[in-house]
Structures are given as structure tokens and as C-alpha cells.
Amino acid sequence: MSIDIATAAKVAKLARIKVENHDLPALAEEFNAILGFIEQLEEVDVEGVEPMVSVTPMPLPRREDVVTDGNQPQKVLSNAPDAREGFFSVPKVVE
């Protein structure tokens, strides 16, 4: 797969990133380099390799699952700039 300048412009628009027209060829090349690296990774045989979180096997630290002092809606909502009917009230952001 190859990314052309038009596709790079579309990706930039979807990501809401302002990219000048003279920078689009470099952006397209960067996308192509990333896709090339992904294609290289797809060639690696990982059959039988278990997923890991670290290069050295170690157990993850766990915390005790305990109930905290919740159930205090009035105390939590006291910091809200606008609270209505027991909820945070926020301005509409999607038309």
C-alpha cells in the first residue's frame, strides 16, 4: 500500500492537523515509511510466542480490591462549576 499526497492531506484533515501544501510530500513519505515498517513486522513469525508486558518475565504489581469512601455525590459535585440534578453539567460540544 502506498500513500499519495491526497491521502496524506485527507489523513491530516481527519486528524485536525494543519499541514501546509509544501509539507504534504514529506508527510506522505513518512506514512509510507511507517507502512513499510509494518509490512516488515508482518513477516516475522510469532507462532508460539506468548504475549508479554516486559522483556524480563515478572509478575505485575497488584493492588488490593477494596471499597473506598465513595457514595459522596454532594462532596464530589461541590467542585463542579455547574451541577444539575446530581450530575456534572457541561456545555454541548457536538452539534
The string of pLDDT tens digits covering residues 51-77 is 887 788 778 788 888 888 778 888 889
Domain locations in the chain as residue ranges: 5-41
- Of 12, 60, 59, 7, nearest in space to 32 by CA: 7
pTM score, two decimals?
Answer: 0.52
For the chain, counts of helices (H) and of strands (E): 3, 2
Is pLDDT at 37 greater than 80 in this prediction? yes
Q: Which stretches of the chain are DSSP H helices?
A: 5-14, 24-42, 73-77
